[in-house]
Every structure is written in structure tokens, then in C-alpha cells.
Structure 1
Amino acid sequence: MNLGPLTQPARLAAPACRSRVLVGTAALLFMAVGVTACGPSGPDRASAPAENGNAVPATSDTSVGGGGGSGSGAAPVTAAPASSPVGPAVGSSQWPQLTWYTAQEYGAAKNAPARVSRRTSDGSWQLVRAGRPGNGTAAGQIAVAPDGRRAAWVEASAKRLVISDFDGTKQRTIPTQGQQTCAPSWLDSDRVLFGLGREKDWTIVAINADGTGRKVVATRQASCPTVSGGWIAQFTDRAVHVRDERGGPRTISPRIPSGLVIDGVAGTSRDGRSLVISTHVPNAGECGCGWRFRTYRVDAASGKATELTPLDRAWNEPTGHGQAIEAVALADGGLVVQVNTATPADDAPAYRLVRYAADGRVLASTAVPAGQPWGGLLG
């Protein structure tokens, strides 16, 4: 998920507090963003929103698993064969096949490469491939394709978009004419979306991974887009604008409680019928360290919003924990959501994957691969 133009060198350490919370699609953002003082919540914080009868709360909090974090006791092996995803039965807590991207680690003693891992039926993570896409040249986000075979990034020195295999070979370069650039995202495993221009005046462009098939999708856009499930999304405080590459946008107005604002679109189902949004009550300093994050699954046609139960009951208070970063819709109506169990004020995220039922109940949770904390759910 993209926050804006790439104008600064990438870095892995997060600032102490951010003016806007980082939110993700199938790729992670490592650029520096503006910060604001992060103090204890006080009278300036907005009061809790009034409940809205249109919002459908989850029936109960059935949190399971550990208390969060990104560690896993299972060490990855050298390779794992690809297999077809198996959809869980309706109402089951069974996990589908999941793929995770771990970012390259810079400055560490081992300088660990980026990795793509796949979760096996016994709950361990197996290494599928490793590589160094970008390898220190990226101006910000490195976006990894849904199948984990390719990567895309904006090169800092040459001001161009680069698309390569995950190991960094077979690079294709697309000039950006020195313009500011929205971080790239993948529409599918063969097509990349990016933006050119300046703040509040973006031209959104799609291109094939081999550099052909360039198409202008939209012009004069106020913000950089998010991509999930092949859908392009942009959001304001109370609405989400969704389009595909072929058609014009439609506006979805989630029926969420008054006082909440949208801070991210975590995912859109491939059929475009539902999306997952992250919301919070804003405070005077716009510091996410004291927000109460509330996550909703939204019906695109009606705007009906079903709240997802937080993994930890303590997150029903404004602690800054529990923001939904990525979400994958399942065939049984459930979800897998990548949740940050840390806060936006922490130096690094602490991700955990949560399996939700269609009605928003927590069915199970699981750790992400051990090692470098920066990473993301690919599908």
C-alpha cells in the first residue's frame, strides 16, 4: 500500500512516531515519512465514536494463539515445491496455503537476502526462493509479485522503474523522466501499476513485467493508489474509490460508526464484492501510538460493515496495537489478515496472521517466518 511519492532513500528502521500509519498491499514500504511528537493520550484525543446501528460487530472475542510477534520456531528449509492452494471448508479454522515475503536485511552481520516462504500443512514455513532485488538501489518500497517470482522498485539514482526476477536478474527498466513516482504495486503476477507526477496530481500507469503494454489508467489523481486482488483503491477519511484497469471508479461508503476515519485498505476480494479497511479515532497530534484501530469487512454494494474482533481484548482500548496491514479473502467467506501487534511508534513491526470467520470471529492465529521483521503476506 502506498503513501506517496518516493523521494528519499530506503531505510528499515521506523521513526519513533508517524504522522500517518504505514499500511500495506502485497508489498512493504520502507521509506521515511514525517513524524510528530508521540506523547501520552490526553484531553486532546477525540472521544470514542458513537456506535452506529449499521455496523455489525463480531459476536465474540475468541482470540487464540500467542500474544503476537513475528517469531517462529520453525526454521525454513532450502526449498519447497509449489502446490495448488486448498480452500478450507466453510466454518473451518483450517489455513489455506500462504506465501510470505521477508525483506532483505541491510547492515546486519549476515546481510540476509530477501526471501519468499510458503506455509506448509504442519504449520511450518519453508523457503521457496531467496534473492536481492533492488540490493540497496531502491528509493523506497520493493514490491513483490503475488507469486513471489518477480519484484519491482524505483531506482534512486537513475530515476527509473526497474522490474526483475526475484533474484535480481533479467532487469527491465522503464524511464520515469525524472518525475516523482508512486511506489509500484502488482495488479497480478505479470502486470505492474505505478504513478508519475506530483502530490495531488498523479498519472496512474500500468505496464507488463517485460516492459510492454504501457497504459494510462487514470490522470489527475489526488493520491497514490493501493492494489489488492487486482483492484486499484484510493481512500479518503470516509470513502473508498475502487476501479480495475479497464473501467472507471466506483465509490464505496462504508457504514462505520461516526467519528472513525479510514487509514488504509488492507485488501479487496478478487470478485470486487468486499474489502477490508482499517479505521481509527483521530487525535490532535495524529500519532498512531495511541489510536484504537478498528478493522471492518465491507460489502461493496451496500456499504454494510462487519467489525473484526481484535486478536487481543486489550486492543479494544486506544493502545496503538492491532492495525490490519494486508487481508486475503477466502472461498469460505473468511479472511486471513496480517496484523501488526506492535504500534506505529515502535522501531519495527511485529506481525501475526489471523484467521477470521465470515462473521468476524477469530478462529486462529499463527506466527510469520522468523528473522527480519519487515515483510508481508503475498497470498
Structure 2
Amino acid sequence: MKHWALTAGAALALTAATTTPALAGSTGSTGSTGVAYGTAPVSGAVYFRHAGGGIEVQTHRGGRTSGLKVGGGAFAGQFAVAPDGRRVAWIDDRNRLRVTSASGSGPDKVVARNAAYGGPCLTPAWTADGKRIAYPVKGTSDAAAVAVVGADGGGRSDAGRTLGVCHLTWSADGRTLAGYTGDTNGVHLLDTGSRTSKRVPGVKRAGHVESLSPDGRRVVVNTVGANAPGGDGSWPLSFTPSIYDTRTGAKVAVPVRGRLLGARYLSDGRLAVRVKGTTANTIVVLSRAGKEIQRVTEPAKVRNLGLVGVIG
């Protein structure tokens, strides 16, 4: 497996939200993972920061804040936050995939014992419904095996092998996983049904995969130049998002002005784009047709922190 120098993460944190009317024309359909494709306005967001050798996650929703901590010891930063912000899946130095829940909602639980450990980009990934977790399996091959397990530890299955094992992310329909290679040499899609992997055309080098559209047709990545350092990286505080059509390789324009700090697809196909502000950042929500339908103003205190989830 191609995983190089470890990189240190930095502090991230908390947000607040305002709402506007939901996107018109909702079908209210349901994906194969059971996620309702409705259009509820964005109501909150999820953030993290590195603290005490581990991770502190903070979720803001409906004016309330909740949090939990994971890690410590030899924690390498291999984690993913559930869509609801109430659970964190992470890999410890004993190759165990663990799920830690928010205070009062359940104890820490080991759900798998064969996870790859040692590089911050080797992160697990939650399905959009929060019921299953994909994770890289320990091994020595460049094309790493990926397994899927229930959040309760049941129903383990093999998803196939892929060169794109870094910063795995699911499509909301539950069919596709995307990730970049540990040496930043491209992005790959793993079809969890056929268990086959293919490279996304058009993306030459990428240092982060943030999100897939619900049907897996578009991917949000952080592209890097030819002279940029390779190696497996931790979750970035911010990045300039590039969106590519995963079939044609065409780059898709993001119709939002300003300095963009990231972008994430919601489970119904809306796109949440984070935009840098002078005193506070803004989350701009676009419809599936690319029209602005909502703006969420973040508090000034999170201006330099990083976003890891949007609730809506």
C-alpha cells in the first residue's frame, strides 16, 4: 500500500445556522440505503478539532451543541464522523475499528479487528443512513481490500479492492465508494456491488476526497499540482473544491463567488459550499440544478476552523 509521511492535523470546531425555504420540486423519494431524498433546510453542522492526542467532535443543531472525544495514545487521526454527528468511527493502533457514541447514547464498541492502521488518510466512511461503515483492511498490496460492517459490528462483507483507499467516501445511494491513492496519483471509484474499481478520468493528482453525489456521478476533491508534496494527509482544515464528472472526467463549475473553503453533497443531491468571509464564513446551499436556495451564516469564532459535516 502506498502511504507516505504522516501529517499533523489542526484545530477545528462549532457552528450556527439560519434557514430559508426548502428546494422546490422535491420528489420525496428514498435511496437504497433508506435515506429520504427530501429537502429539509440545513439545520446545523459538524466540526472537529485535534485535542489531547485525539479528536474532539462538536455538533451544532437547532441552537444546541453536543460533543464527544476519541483517540489518545498512538491515535493516527483515522476517523470519520457519522452523518448525525453523534458517533465517530476510528481505527486504533491495534487495528481495531471502533465506534464511539456521544455521552449517554452508548459505550465505545469494537466493530472490526482487521483494519489498516498507520496513516491519517486511511479513514473509515459512514453510509448516508449511518448504519454501515466501510474501512480499509490491513495488508501490503497497493490495491487495498475494503470491508463493510454494520455500525453495531454485524453483517461484515467484502467490498472489493481499490487503489483509491484514502479518505473513503460513500455515495448516498450506497453503491459507490471513492478515494484517492496514498501517493496522490488520482481518484478511484469502487463499485460495492460488482466489487470492481476504476480510476476517475480527468483527475491527475488529488490530496483529498471530500464527497460524492448521491448517484456517484460527481466527486468533490482537492486537486494538487505536480510539484505539491505527496503522502497521506489528515483531514484538511479547508481546501479549494474541484468537482469532476466521474464518467467523463469533465470539470464541473461551482456557481458560487468568493474564496471557497470546501463543498459537500447532501443525501438528496444538494451541494453545500463553504465560503470564506471577512468576519464569518457562510455555507451556501445549491439545488440539484445549481441554484442558490439557502445561506447559513457561521459565527465568527469558527471562521478559521474546519467543517466535516452538514446536517439537512
One-letter amino acid of the structure 2 residue matched with residue 162 of structure 1? R
| 2:296 match | 366
Alignment of 1:143 with 2:88, yes or no, is no
Write out per-residue CA displacement over residues 317-353 of structure 1, whole angstroms, 9 at most, x where no aligned residue: xxxxx353x411475x6421245779xxxxxxx9642
- Give the CA deviation at 1:224: 2.8
| 2:99 match | 163
CA contact (8 A) 1:4 1:199 kept: no
Q: What is the rounded CA distance, in whole Å, between the counterparts of 1:71 and 1:215 in structure 2?
A: 35
- Give the CA deviation at 1:269: 1.9
| 1:246 match | 193
CA contact (8 A) 1:199 1:222 kept: no
Write out per-residue CA displacement over residues 93-120 of structure 1, whole angstroms, 9 at most, x where no aligned residue: x98224422325636xxx99632222x5
Flag the 1:153–1:242 CA change in 2: closer, same or farther, 3 A: same
One-letter amino acid of the structure 2 residue matched with residue 176 of structure 1? N
Structure whose CA Rg is larger: 1
| RCO higher in structure (CA 8 A, sep ≥6) | 1
Q: For 1:275, what is the secondary structure of its paired residue?
A: strand
Question: 5 Å matches for 1:107-122?
Answer: 114-118=57-61, 120=62
- Give the CA deviation at 1:227: 0.8
Q: For 1:311, what is the secondary structure of its paired residue?
A: coil
Flag the 1:373–1:204 CA change in 2: closer, same or farther, 3 A: same
Report percent identity of matched pairs. 21
Flag the 1:4–1:146 CA change in 2: closer, same or farther, 3 A: farther
Q: What is the rounded CA distance, in whole Å, between the counterparts of 1:306 and 1:284 in structure 2?
A: 24
| 1:194 match | 135
TM-score (norm 1): 0.55
Write out per-residue CA displacement over residues 157-202 of structure 1, whole angstroms, 9 at most, x where no aligned residue: x442211323384222232388647222212411111112247242
Runs of at least 5 residues in structure 1 that lack an aligned partner in the other structure = 15-27, 29-69, 76-85, 121-125, 316-321, 343-349
TM-score (norm 2): 0.65
How many residue pairs get matched? Answer: 271
Alignment of 1:13 with 2:10, yes or no, is yes
CA contact (8 A) 2:147 2:156 kept: yes
| 2:257 match | 311
Alignment of 1:176 with 2:114, yes or no, is yes
Q: What is the rounded CA distance, in whole Å, between the counterparts of 1:105 and 1:225 in structure 2?
A: 17
One-letter amino acid of the structure 2 residue matched with residue 175 of structure 1? R
| 2:217 match | 273
| 1:88 match | 23
Q: What is the rounded CA distance, in whole Å, between the counterparts of 2:79 and 2:68 in structure 1?
A: 12
Q: What is the rounded CA distance, in whole Å, between the counterparts of 2:200 and 2:142 in structure 1?
A: 21
